[in-house]
Structure 1
């Protein structure tokens, strides 16, 4: 319980801690969020690419590892699983968009300021949850493949492609695998679509952020499903060739996610502005302290 604190300070704190108000959005808002994300990317392209260069590099490393250990069936699940971790990996991009929104000229160093956020621990917690979801997805994808083709690995890429596209088991694998992947992606979308921007903007806890995110999806099911589809399609496009396109797709989606958050969550409006500063009487005996005698009326 706050004590001996000016009334306006208490009111401002309660306004900031108020439950987020969720808006109803339409498909046009998704287009506008992407447009604004593209504008952010054009404003700071080098910074965004530096932040997200891990995506194409990691993709190439994963591709080489998969080919080297003859576990081709996991190549697509690994690539698709990036979408589960993307909301956490884009934290620096949210910071850049936040600063541009305030009229600043962000730099690469500004993106790292997210590490100093009071809610960074909560962000790490939700990021760990998404990582666990990613690991479970990979294990599930492997189990589906083994249930379909057994433990015998494909000798090379042409053999693997032939198995998938020219056999009934292959088409069954495609249908079941994509269906299962859709469920994992839906879970990730529901718990994280606005969670990280909310934690960055209002320093919300992980649980509160996830609840708000699920409420936002429940209130806007069609636009949110459309957003998930847009993300999936752009990530597939960005994966070609050799994941290099993700250096553009990921930062644009990261910036766009921040603007989507702004459209979904009503901004905080402070109900009481700070009282104006007033000048108190000054006396010669108080010199030179009286030169700095500016106080609030309520004090």
Structure 2
């Protein structure tokens, strides 16, 4: 008998407003139990962020959209961590070799979904750049320019429009992917079925999933204001928590009959 058995995740429970914080706690447990794959994923995504900062360092009108677009695609880049959480839930310990094997499989469904998210991200980059360039009264080159002339501008309009447009794009992307990406890792279903299940979960649990989206945004914001260093821990935490969100959101809602004694 194994003296240190891997804990098996509890059965999914009904989703309510407390569920998102519970998903974070379960994700933290997964990260602590098997930290190396998550930290490598987080570091890789932080490096991508630093590259974006360097490439667009003098074109902040482009950088704002590029970072937003990068965050749209990031969930697909963390699919290996959903596999880590799935294996732990089944009582098995996955390692980096298992994650590499998942990526080397070149699952066409994940590739197609990633391309769709990439198109959405590109669309937002272009929209954001065009909006800031055309509407801003002065050229926006550096983060300080964006803060001074867009975020803190006395005139109401540009920053609010930028936020609204970003939310209009982010909402359907979130609704399409919150369940779909973990489901594509977990089951051999087509992309259309996974996306439909994701939208159905949002329709069934709008309050908890709005709160979940807010929590994700807060964690990502925390990771970004630390010079992207915080993303090294935030990215795997969100990815592992997203697996537990998927489990709860797709759990059967019908009561389980209790056998008589």
TM > 0.5: yes
- Measured in 1, the distance between the counterparts of 2:153 and 2:19 equals 42
Aligned to 1:226: 211
TM-score, normalised by the number of residues in structure 1: 0.75
Q: Would the alpha carbon gap of residues 100 and 140 (structure 1) be closer, same or farther in structure 2, given more than 3 Å must change?
A: same
Instruction: Check if 1:112 corresponds to 2:97.
Output: no
Aligned residues: 241
2:251 and 2:152 mapped to 1: Cα distance?
A: 51
Matches within 5 A, 1:78-93: 78-93=66-81
Q: 2:44 aligns with which of 54, 71, 75?
A: 54
Matched with 2:173 is 188
The corresponding residue for 2:18 is 28
C-alpha deviation, 1:183, in angstroms? 1.2
Per the TM alignment, residue 220 of structure 1 is displaced from its structure 2 partner at its CA by 0.7
Q: Contact 2:39/2:233 (CA < 8 Å) preserved in 1?
A: yes
Alignment partners' CA distance in 2, 1:220 and 1:88: 23
Tell me, in whole angstroms, the C-alpha distance in 2 between the residues paired with 1:246 and 1:23.
29
Q: Tell me the TM-score normalized by structure 2.
A: 0.85
Q: Which residue of 2 aligns with 1:77?
A: 65
Select 1:163's aligned residue among 141, 149, 169.
Answer: 149
Is residue 37 from structure 1 mapped to residue 27 from structure 2 by the alignment?
yes
Shift of 1:81: 2.7
- Establish whether residue 257 from structure 1 lines up as the match of residue 242 from structure 2: yes
The Cα offsets for residues 24-49 of structure 1, whole Å up to 9 and x where unpaired, read as 61122211111110011111112211
Contact 1:83 1:232 in 2 (8 A): no
Contact kept? 1:24, 1:220, Cα under 8 Å: no
Aligned partners of 1:71 and 1:153 also within 8 Å: no
Q: Shift of the alpha carbon at 1:157?
A: 4.7
Residue in structure 1 matched with residue 89 of structure 2 by the alignment: 101
Distance 1:263 1:51, change over 3 A: same
Which residue of structure 2 lines up, in the alignment, with residue 140 of structure 1? 127
Q: Which runs of 5+ in 2 are unaligned?
A: 1-11, 253-261
CA distance in 1, matches of 2:123, 2:168: 12
* Cα distance in structure 2, aligned partners of 1:23 and 1:39: 17
Per the TM alignment, residue 79 of structure 1 is displaced from its structure 2 partner at its CA by: 2.2
Tell whether the 8 Å contact from 2:41 to 2:235 is kept in structure 1 after alignment. no
* Contact persistence 2:25–2:241 (CA under 8 A): yes
The question of 1:212 aligning with 2:202 is answered: no
Task: Give the RMSD, CA atoms, in angstroms.
Answer: 2.1
Give the one of 214, 229, 232 matched to 1:244: 229
Give the Å deviation of 1:76: 2.6
Per-residue deviation at 1:174? 1.2
Shift of 1:133: 0.3
